[in-house]
Structure 1
Amino acid sequence: MLTRELSSYITQMVVPGWDNTKKVNFQPISGGSINQAFRINFDKGSYFCKVNSATKFPQLFEKECQGLLQINKQGGIKVPQIIHCFEFLEYQVLILEWISTGNKDKDFWERFGKQMAALHHISNEYFGFLDNNYMGSVTQSNEPSLDWNNFFYRSRLQPIISKCFNANLLTQKHVLHFERLLIKLPEVFGEGQLPALVHGDLWSGNFMCNKDSEPVLIDPAISYAHPSVDLGMSTLFGGFNQRFYDSYQYYNPLPLNYKEQWEVANLYPLLIHLFLFGSGYLGQIEQTLYKY
């Protein structure tokens, strides 16, 4: 529930000195499964606002801002402008520019594929990131590693496997199959992969098309990782046109076994969905896991 005290404070943060006798409207909208989200309507424009507990998911919005800033400074693909990120009483609040949605023109998907390829060309000396962050509501380790296969298993799969096992969502048999997969990872991903800047949570709900028919990325879970992290996840829940992949392939050619790489990379988001939403995702995990 958005209290009067909090709404008043948010209003003053967005427009300092705002006359409280003037109308401002907090319109509840969809903002994901864990946040309250609002469109704040002033007489001169709108903003997007997310509110959450400051203690349940510590620094959730600070980490999101880190991701948005990291993507934005590359200059290749758009993200919302950060207006404010702050804590007030027991709340954390993120205020972003309001993105008006538009129609996808005939070049949208080609443009999107090209821009994602450019993002993935941004490299780093290690896999990981300067700080840990979140994948949805699950904490995500970004401890630096010089080897992708090691990073993927130790900082991605292993922590969420433990969470799922402790919640009785995975059995010891599953854990043993994951240990076998660890041995096979160099055959799947090869050696020498350079770290690539990835969005980290690239499903159809985490991009928008603005009024100028430009892709806009939202809700990042960034790290320097393998490009298959983004490309694989883009296939999980649909919503991406084949022209996106064709364009990406033109600017950043994929390996012959890219579908296998995407399938293995998708074990991570599927495990997170298993942990958050239950056993409905187990069959898809087993389908990949039992191949190894």
Structure 2
Amino acid sequence: MVAQLGLISFSSSSCFKTHPFSFTKHNSSSIPTMAALSDDPIREWILSEGKATNITRISPIGGGCINLANRYDTDAGSFFVKTNRNIGPSMFEGEALGLSAMYETRSIRVPRPFKFGALPTGGSYIIMEYIEFGSSRGDQSLLGKKLAEMHKAAKSGNGFGFHVDNTIGSTPQSNTWTSDWIQFYAEHRLGYQLKLAREQFGDSTIHEKGQRLVKNIGSLFENVVIEPCLLHGDLWSGNICSDKNGQPVILDPACYYGHNEAEFGMSWCAGFGGSFYSAYFEVMPKQPGFEKRRDLYMLYHYLNHYNLFGSGYRPSAMSIIDDYLRMLNA
């Protein structure tokens, strides 16, 4: 779905590979001349709706492998800009809508996004608030509390899914609205990843066993009240930080409305401790059988890592599937 250019409120992160623009003189020795103003929608927005009259510096940020990221310093403050020369605006539309939805909860902090759109030379961009990060990831208990407040505040009346499809890493993530959570998770999360593993690697074993599991997960949700909560969707350590005041900040979402427990699917590389869970469950009480479902939600992300990065993640995914098949006698 190609996004229409427009003003919205969203955010993003700085963990992307960056590339500096070439610099030339233009009111300041540190301002890059990319193109005429009318051919540069980023600069055009900053110097109009962004309320700036002068861009003083553009500097690369972070390092990654999907997008380029730059900090734009201006006389009206700083902006964070991501660009991708190969992908159209639909990817940034998904990010923008997710960040906007999280921002509107007024709970946990996310960088506020402002605009996304197409680049005249091909590719796309997103402009966001620039957040000064602190020196640590911040207080674990405060992170748990704020995350739970977001889950509690934002519910969907459309069921499980999201307004647009988006990506988890670079993997497409289908968010077709579905009234039943078990059906949504079975089809649009586990089922898709299993199909991808078979198509990419010819892995009929993990596909067949995974499908057996998918057909038998219903009993793991007995006596559980499942509401469609707004989820960040990709909450690992690289997407968690704090601002200079120690408030938690979450970045680079793969948002959708789902079972709140699915938010912990990346806990194997998120570093959540006891204080995080204690604070979280004070706001969002723990549901019966939480421990039995925890690995089911990790499985989606292990499968995605298998599909993105190769066979090193297969044993973890296979172990989870085998353990559940034994537990469920499936």
The two structures have a TM-score, normalised by structure 1, of 0.88
What CA distance in whole angstroms lies between the structure 1 residues aligned with 2:115 and 2:35? 14
Query: In the alignment, what sits opposite 1:172?
Result: 204
Query: In the alignment, what sits opposite 1:286?
Result: 318
SS at match of 1:266: helix
Deviates more, 1:178-187 or 1:39-48: 39-48
Post-superposition offset of 1:240: 2.9
SS at match of 1:24: strand
Aligned-partner residue type, residue 93 of structure 1: Y
- Give 1:268's match in structure 2, choosing from 300, 305, 314: 300
Aligned-partner residue type, residue 276 of structure 1: L
SS at match of 1:160: helix
Query: In the alignment, what sits opposite 1:149?
Result: 182
Alignment of 1:1-292 (within 5 A): 2=21, 4-5=33-34, 9=40, 10-16=42-48, 24-30=56-62, 32-42=64-74, 45-53=77-85, 56=87, 58-89=89-120, 90-103=122-135, 108-121=139-152, 122-125=154-157, 126-168=159-201, 171-190=203-222, 192-233=225-266, 235-291=267-323, 292=325
Query: In the alignment, what sits opposite 2:13?
Result: none
Query: In the alignment, what sits opposite 2:4?
Result: none
C-alpha contact 1:206 1:218 (8 A) present in aligned 2 = yes
What CA distance in whole angstroms lies between the structure 2 residues aligned with 1:258 and 1:240? 15
C-alpha contact 1:11 1:18 (8 A) present in aligned 2 = no
Deviates more, 1:26-35 or 1:94-103: 26-35
Change in CA separation of 1:280 and 1:114 when aligned onto 2, cut-off 3 Å: same
What CA distance in whole angstroms lies between the structure 2 residues aligned with 1:120 and 1:97? 23
What CA distance in whole angstroms lies between the structure 1 residues aligned with 2:236 and 2:79? 23
Residue deviations 1:228-275 (CA, integer Å, cap 9, x gap): 221231x12143333111101222222343233121111112211111
What CA distance in whole angstroms lies between the structure 1 residues aligned with 2:195 and 2:318? 16
Specify every segment of 5 or more residues in structure 1 that has no aligned partner in the other structure, as ranges: none
Aligned-partner residue type, residue 235 of structure 2: L
What CA distance in whole angstroms lies between the structure 1 residues aligned with 2:215 and 2:62? 42
Deviates more, 1:281-290 or 1:22-31: 22-31
C-alpha contact 1:57 1:137 (8 A) present in aligned 2 = no
Residue deviations 1:129-158 (CA, integer Å, cap 9, x gap): 122112121211111111111100111112
Residue deviations 1:182-210 (CA, integer Å, cap 9, x gap): 13211223354121111111111112201
What RMSD in Å do the two structures reach over aligned CA positions? 2.4
C-alpha contact 1:14 1:84 (8 A) present in aligned 2 = no
Change in CA separation of 1:176 and 1:41 when aligned onto 2, cut-off 3 Å: same
SS at match of 1:134: strand
C-alpha contact 1:31 1:50 (8 A) present in aligned 2 = no
What CA distance in whole angstroms lies between the structure 1 residues aligned with 2:119 and 2:251? 23
What CA distance in whole angstroms lies between the structure 2 residues aligned with 1:7 and 1:163? 43
Change in CA separation of 1:184 and 1:65 when aligned onto 2, cut-off 3 Å: same
What CA distance in whole angstroms lies between the structure 2 residues aligned with 1:57 and 1:275? 22
Aligned-partner residue type, residue 231 of structure 2: V
Q: How many percent identity over aligned positions?
A: 30
Residue deviations 1:164-187 (CA, integer Å, cap 9, x gap): 21111x521211111211132112
Post-superposition offset of 1:75: 1.5
Deviates more, 1:256-265 or 1:96-105: 96-105
Specify every segment of 5 or more residues in structure 2 that has no aligned partner in the other structure, as ranges: 1-18, 23-32, 326-330
Change in CA separation of 1:142 and 1:180 when aligned onto 2, cut-off 3 Å: same
What CA distance in whole angstroms lies between the structure 1 residues aligned with 2:137 and 2:200? 45
SS at match of 2:269: coil
Aligned-partner residue type, residue 82 of structure 2: K
What CA distance in whole angstroms lies between the structure 2 residues aligned with 1:240 and 1:194? 23
